[in-house]
Amino acid sequence: MNNPPLRIVFAIYPGMTQLDFTGPHQFFVRWPDSEVIIASPAGGDVPSEGLIFAGTRRLAEIEACDLICVPGGRSTTATALDSAFIAEIRRLGLAARYVTSVCTGSLILGAAGLLVGRRAACHWAWRHLLPLFGATADDGRVVRDGNIITGGGVTAGIDFALAVLAEIGGVEQAQIIQLGLEYAPAPPFDAGRPETAPAAILAAYRALMADILPRREAEAREAANRLGIGRA
């Protein structure tokens, strides 16, 4: 008797970074034995950075999944204060075989109480917020701690997806999908990490983020306080 397909749920929300979602989604939908479901707090259309993802299912209607994946985005910490959404993430995550995220999506997993005592990745600029949720911040591009698999910032979602597929079905099949999608990154600049970016570029990016940093930190602290482990 054939095994049922691996049920993968992407929990998306308005204001997410679309590549956090679409990057791994492109790889997961190529997996031959998977059922990929796109769900959101209210269902229906979800706007993201000039795109609209149509016809999503209501997250509350999803009974269970084998893998849940939460993308990040500039609205992540605000979304972490949506108690109904966070409750659904926790419900599905507690029963899932794999609990995963990309970029600041790990802050949502944290707000759902799924990262207490676990190592997790996050976008480098917001990684320092993970300990608010009882997690240990890890600077790895893909980090695994038990059944928790998290990816770093944005494009790390593709590396994350390949690591997950290799875990689920083996390295060979993951590499076949990688080849089919011609994933062979060779960026023209070595500025994708704060450790390698020129000092002036790093300073310019930090300046761009300066206005939103206090708000996001405050939202993260409030989400952690709701969880009962927030720090002053």
Q: Which residue reads 């790889």 in tokens?
A: 27
7-113-94 Cα angle (round to 5) = 30
Distance CA 97, CA 4 (A): 14
Query: Which are the catalytic amino acids?
Result: 103
Q: Which residue reads 């990057």 in tokens?
A: 23
Integer angstrom CA distances of residue 94 from 17, 99, 100, 106? 25, 8, 12, 15
Distance CA 43, CA 209 (A): 30
Q: Which residue reads 């204060």 in tokens?
A: 81
The b-or-e profile of 108-135 (16+ CB within 10 A means b, else e) is bbbbbbbbeebbbbbbbbbbebbebbbb
User: CA neighbours within 13 Å on the CB side: how many for 57?
Assistant: 13
